[in-house]
Amino acid sequence: MLYFIGMNDFFSSINIIIFIPVLLFSVGIHEAMHGFAAHWLGDSTAQEQGRLTLNPLKHLDLYTSIILPLVLVLSHLPPFFVAKPVPFNPSRVKYDEFGVAIIGVTGPLTNISLAIIAAILLKLPVILGSGTMVQILLTVVIVNVSLAVFNMIPFPPLDGSRLLYAFAPEPLQRLMASLESSGFMIIIIFMVIFISSGLGEIIVRIDNSVIRLLLG
């Protein structure tokens, strides 16, 4: 799955030592929940391939999760990275494309849930007395809002495309299926569109609005 953390208004407050484990934790839960949702809907593919786990290392790839973002950062480009998508077999999932849509939105909904829980904890007096816990929970809010908003873009292979596919007319479904079958090439195309169209700025503005709403 493709990920992007925009440099929003709150990003400068993040401690990189805290950011990395929070990011890995959040991505691990995001991907694992896709697998749990598919398993709940009748497909055991993720379990059979050892991907039904919260261990983030099981969901990362050396080239697309580590080398790719490093190259982009060194090239002064937005830092995308790609985690290994949790496999599932649509033909074994209940409710056809609507079941697939449920699997797709489970990841972003999990991220939003984590952000909401962290935001609630941030308001507790016992937490406010600990600078380290405030940093950790603030980072959880920022990272998970960013992951949720970005992944709901309705463009393959992002999770939002699963939801759009379930309600799209057949010609659009065929187009989306064709795009997703292009593999890594569609990710490159999306990155070019994302960078050149100013979509990143829109996503960052949405991130900022949601984060401000959660933090009050």
Determine the distance from the C-alpha atom of residue 191 to the mean position of all C-alpha atoms in its chain, rounded to a whole number.
15
Active-site entry in 31, 48, 170, 180: 31
- Respond yes or no: is residue 170 known to be catalytic: no
Give yes or no for a contact between 154 and 161, defined as CB atoms under 8 angstroms apart.
yes
Q: Are 141 and 118 in contact (CB under 8 A)?
A: yes
Residues whose CB falls within 8 Å of the CB of residue 2, separated by 6 or more in sequence, listed in order? 80, 81, 82, 151, 157, 158, 187, 190
Residues 97-130 as b/e (b if ≥16 CB within 10 A, e otherwise) read: bebbbbbbbbbbbbbbebbeebbebbeeeeeeee
Annotated catalytic sites, by residue? 31
